[in-house]
Amino acid sequence: MPYLPTYDSRDPRYKTPYGAVASGTQVQFTLRPPRIEGYSHASMSVRFESRYNEILVLKLPWQGHDLGQDLFSAALDTGGYVGLVWYSFCLERLDGRKQELGPYQLTVYDGTYTVPSWFGEGVTYQIFPDRFCRSRVPDPEGMVGGRTVHQSWEEFPEYLPNDQGEVRNRDFFGGDFQGVIRKLGYLRSLGVETIYFNPIFEAAENHRYGTADYSRVDPMLGTNEDFSRLCDEAHRLGMRVMLDGVFNHTGFVSRYFNGDGFYPESGASQSWDSPYRPWFNFTQWPHKYDSWWGIYSLPAVNENNPSYRDFIFGSEDSVVRRWLRAGADGWRLDVADELPDDFVAGIHRAVRAEKPDAVVIGEVWEDGSTKVAYGVRRKHILGGHCDGLMNYPLRSAILSFFQGGGGEDFVEGMETIRENYPAFAFYSAMNSLDTHDTPRLLTLLGAGGEYRDQTKAWRAQFQLSPKQRSRGKELLKAAALLLFCFPGSPTVYYGDEVGMEGFEDPFNRQTYPWGYEDQELLDWYRALGRLRRRRQALRRGSIRYVCGRGPLLAFVRETEEERLLCVFNAGNEARGLELEEGRPSLLLGQAELRQEDGLYTVLLPPRSGAVFSMK
């Protein structure tokens, strides 16, 4: 007889419904200890974290027995509660011996909110605006920030400190909206349904995370009208546009702080009477102030200031609403965990009021259900805040798996996320292999471990050898297939699809190599885009793991009409997976099928993946 645990929160024999639940749901818990252990009493201790850690103790009456196990069961009412529940069990024998289990997490969310499904279903493409495509070499004269412009698109970004020891990020390449418009057909050929832009508003630095003016597009990108035209063209091709909302801090060089006096009106650092001065937290005006992670060029704002809130989301002409009217379809919130919960909720209300099918995606690097920032458990995915989050845990799991970690660890990590997240958040996640804040996966997978402990100068000069690049490409193709098969929106960081390399910022922010694309990778990503667009099981189907063992990983995505098997081999040797049922038909990837006694075995080459339609 197979081993059966006393409790398994992911098995419907022990807990129903699965995972997170909407407030008001009756959750049934069942313990199944072996009869031979002789337990006679069972109880459950429940701690409602968001209800001042109120403790509730429930008795689990004996309900009978099944397959050599006693059954103790009770229901928990979650009515009137939203937040995390932590629960534990205690089993007791007549002789006083006890067994304790837990604690376990139960996420209870507000189920009254409706989340648009479009974001999680289709492919997203992330554009770092200065480095994607330019229509001309711009003239920086008169622009904020004292910029320089690389005359050649193929030059390397500046990364060394200046004479004052600062990395200024004032070197621009001049990517612009007209360049993006020219490449919309290219994006469509990749199957892209959402374009996510890193910040587009006027700012001194090339990354534009120190916003200088929320009311206008950076003039190097174009005009506000150019942005609306881009949105119109994207919409015409069936694509939506998502903007990066940087609302935790502004720029030292900005209309609001005006640290260098570039703007004619008085900013917070020039006048105590400036309307912007209360937006910032000065410890000694005007030279000492709170800033993001201590970076003086990014003064932190006071998100509790009524005037600032009204400016960002409160008024009809707020930043959030104005740019949705201009054509945007959603916001990604930079450092969402550093924004107060009611601030994020205010943005969410404003977004829905302006455009009911627009979405709010939050930047969170950890499990978003348990995230604590500044001593506060965040409410990101409890309803009415973020519709989805950036799924960095998935990136970490994919990287670990293809670097030699076991499939068991991948399954455990991702099932923890699926169990902790409401379904709307799990299926609306922004899933990436790379972002502007991470090294390129091709570089990490190809280089192996030799990049660790190397200097920044070494990283700047590093390029994969032909042998490293060949290995890295094999692993990247398999990793990308996994990304496109997983629930949530597969998000491609510009240039990944053509083999761009690079470690951390700014080496991961080089210009897109137009005319020098890796055609093999590009063809692969286009095939991935077609697969994702055409297969409903990948867009919205459930997920069920078939295998997670060493270098082998397999799961099924299915709807009532379609069932797909997704299989991956991260190892250096060919691997086989025996199928217990179904007749597979290869859709994409490299694999060999063998049949014996009516059962199929899938044989995968090293460092590969494949998708099968199951009949």
Lowest mean pLDDT among 35-44, 159-168, 502-511: 159-168
Average pLDDT for 539-546: 98
Give CA–CA dist 205/509, Å, rounded: 13
Measured CA angle at 582 (ends 580, 583), to 5 deg: 125
Return the pLDDT at 2. Answer: 61
* Token output for 397: 């799991």
Give CA–CA dist 4/64, Å, rounded: 16
Average pLDDT for 288-303: 96
Average pLDDT for 354-374: 97
Give CA–CA dist 168/145, Å, rounded: 10
Give CA–CA dist 350/154, Å, rounded: 41
Between 383 and 581, residue with greater pLDDT: 383
- Return the percentage of the chain with pLDDT > 90, whole number: 95
Return the pLDDT at 166. Answer: 84
Return the pLDDT at 164. Answer: 83
Q: How far is CA 334 from CA 43, 52, 243, 510, in A?
A: 43, 30, 10, 21
Q: Edge-to-edge strands of the sheet including 592-596?
A: 575-578, 599-604, 592-596
Return the pLDDT at 1. Answer: 52
Give CA–CA dist 176/167, Å, rounded: 23
Average pLDDT for 156-167: 89
* Token output for 295: 């970076």
pLDDT class for 604, splitting at 50, 70, 90? very high
In this structure, how many other beta carbons lie within 10 angstroms of the beta carbon of residue 98?
Answer: 10
pTM above 0.95, yes or no: yes
Nearest to 56 by CA among 96, 85, 29, 14: 85
Mean pLDDT over the full length of the chain:
97
361: Cβ contacts below 8 Å, ≥ 6 apart: 119, 242, 330, 331, 332, 333, 386, 387, 388, 389, 390, 428, 430
Beta bridge pairs of residue 124: 194, 491
Q: Are strands 552-558 and 584-589 parallel, antiparallel or unpaired?
A: unpaired
Contact 115, 387 (CB under 8 A): yes
pLDDT class for 327, splitting at 50, 70, 90? very high
Return the pLDDT at 597. Answer: 84
pLDDT class for 448, splitting at 50, 70, 90? confident
